[in-house]
Structure 1
């Protein structure tokens, strides 16, 4: 179910990654445009909680838990049994629900042109944000001379 790839656009995992990092206002706005065509939706879960953050020790290659992070989670379904899921960091249940609505829409009807365009715009924006962050990190790099 989660490895299915829509006819157009990114695979399911990549789509969820884009949605989780999408700009909140744009995410909520796009979800609102999809709601009218979706019919009745059942909320399975809509909550906040803590999840463990796993890390891997790069010397011993041993997994350990770095700590906990607060997340908001939404899990919804339609009458036909399609499900939508959203999880975002922080306390923003509306954002998690918007993510789940978009996921449910894609699961039930496939990606429409508006969703494909939204995902592509957000992917481009996130790539630019990531590139700028890496430039800032590189600016702090110090070359050490070894003796």
Structure 2
């Protein structure tokens, strides 16, 4: 079998192989601000896809101003791909998780997983689970230095 045929055959048999780290541009994580990241694996079940859609619906509805102003960064990230895997390791993730992160000078300085979204029965439950944590992180980030947040 020729090398070319072998290469084509291996690509057909291994369709889930991710490109090398050098081939993928690194995501631009914020220097300062708040992020809400839904970390997921390459292979995803219907529950995971529905959860991501529910999170997106809530974030777009409840935090439209914060998104538009750049105060909040919302993304779904595959934790199996570089450089997302490095961030997932820093955050000590154990699988698919929703995490709110506060960034300062390009470093994740505070973060909190929001596991309650997995038990939420519907879109409203997902929103009720994530909204308080995101709101608290935004308040802390946007409060003037030295002031106390309510």
TM value normalised by structure 2: 0.28
Q: With a CA cutoff of 8 Å and minimum separation of 6, indicate the structure with the bigger relative contact order.
A: 2
TM value normalised by structure 1: 0.29
